[in-house]
Amino acid sequence: MQLVPGTSARLEIRDVFDPRQNLDGGARYLRELLDRYGQNTALALAAYNAGPGHVDRERGIPSIRETRDYVARVLREWRRRKASVEKEKSNRLVPAETSSRTKATKNY
């Protein structure tokens, strides 16, 4: 994850190139942003990309093209993956005992 030096220092990340520290710090930062913006994912993503100051000043997603594109792209991918997981859950096989009853019923 990309964290500016000030955020890294505040989160006490000693080595931003250490994957464990980087992901831990990035996840904590995203949690802070979600809490700050009332669990509004779009605003948290905008703040992660452009900085909370921009989101606060504009009282929403800043009119920075890169930020608007970033938020749209991440939300689109998140929704796509979420839908894929939901589809996978609904496509799972029926539990064995239910499946046996269904087979028995079909044989009659």
What confidence tens digit (pLDDT) does each residue in 2-24 have? 888 888 888 888 988 899 999 99
Q: What pLDDT score was predicted for residue 52?
A: 97
CB atoms within 10 A of CB 36: 15
Let me know how long the chain is: 108
> CA–CA distance from 87 to each of 29, 76, 78, 79, 101 (Å)?
30, 16, 14, 12, 24
Below-50 pLDDT ranges, the chain: 107-108
Angle subtended at Cα 28 by Cα 23 and Cα 30, rounded to the nearest 5 degrees: 95
